[in-house]
Amino acid sequence: MKPTSPAARAALGGAGAALLAALLFALGAIPAHAEYRAYELEVVDRVDCAINKRPTCPRTVVKTSMSPEAYAGVHGGDARIGVVLLATWMCYGDTSGYRDICPRPQPRTPKFAVGETVKVALHNHITEGWQGKVELVYYQQSVRANVYGVRFAERQNVFARYFEKDLAKAAPAQPLTEPPR
């Protein structure tokens, strides 16, 4: 049976609002646990390089909770800056109050070290046989494997990420049999 008098409806409405306010207050008292994705990005200012006719553009490494696309969009767009994803991992907690991003996870018993030359062992892949230097290594929990960031200097400084199983030690450079002329 619905109340018909305006006074009865107002009394029920006020009680409902008070109940809703009490419920929201109680839920706010429960501690919240958050997670966010962290990104390590390599950023190049394309306009500065073009204006100053630099042969190589200076690169800056940035740790952020913004995706590469969002970071580029906020900082002038793809025409202004170039952004390369170096690494990504999950962090737990929050970044309010300008708190730092959590550190990149350490690798677990890595097969290759930073600075080591490796060869891509993926079959039928565009990078098959390419040789490059390991620039970073970290453990990615979601796939339970180490991830290696490799830079290919002879291929216009292309940077790519690989799993440990997709890389092999590069053969040492062959010594010259004749002296150079």
Architecture of 105-173 per CATH?
Roll (2.30)
The predicted model gives 136-158 an average pLDDT of 94
Percentage of residues in the chain having pLDDT higher than 90: 56
**Structure confidence at residue 31 as a pLDDT band (50, 70, 90):** low
The predicted model gives 109-135 an average pLDDT of 95
**Structure confidence at residue 139 as a pLDDT band (50, 70, 90):** very high
What pLDDT does 100 receive? 87
Which of 25-29, 32-36, 87-91 shows the lowest per-residue confidence on average (mean pLDDT)? 25-29
Distance of CA 91 to the CA centre of its chain: 11
What pLDDT does 59 receive? 92
Q: 93 CB contacts (<8 Å, ≥6 apart)? A: 34, 35, 99, 102
Which of 4-13, 60-69, 147-156 shows the lowest per-residue confidence on average (mean pLDDT)? 4-13
Nearest to 37 by CA among 65, 16, 57, 15: 65
Cα dist from 132 to 40, 47, 161, whole Å: 20, 28, 11
The phi, psi pair for 22, rounded to 5°, reads -65, -40
Percentage of residues in the chain having pLDDT higher than 70: 77
The predicted model gives 12-27 an average pLDDT of 62
Tokens (6 digits) for 65: 């909770």
Q: Which long-range contacts (CB under 8 A, 24 or more apart) does 102-106 make?
A: 102/38, 104/38, 104/40, 104/63, 104/136, 104/138, 105/138, 105/139, 105/140, 105/141, 106/138, 106/139
**Structure confidence at residue 97 as a pLDDT band (50, 70, 90):** confident
Rounded to whole angstroms, how far apart are CA atoms 87 and 136?
8
Q: What's the chain's average pLDDT? A: 85
Domain ranges of the chain: 30-102, 105-173
What pLDDT does 35 receive? 85
pLDDT at 111 over 90: yes
The residue among 32 and 45 whose pLDDT is bigger is 45
End-to-end C-alpha distance for the chain, whole angstroms: 105
Q: 134 CB contacts (<8 Å, ≥6 apart)? A: 112, 113, 114, 115, 116, 117, 118, 148, 149, 150
Cα dist from 131 to 2, 25, 29, 159, whole Å: 79, 59, 55, 12
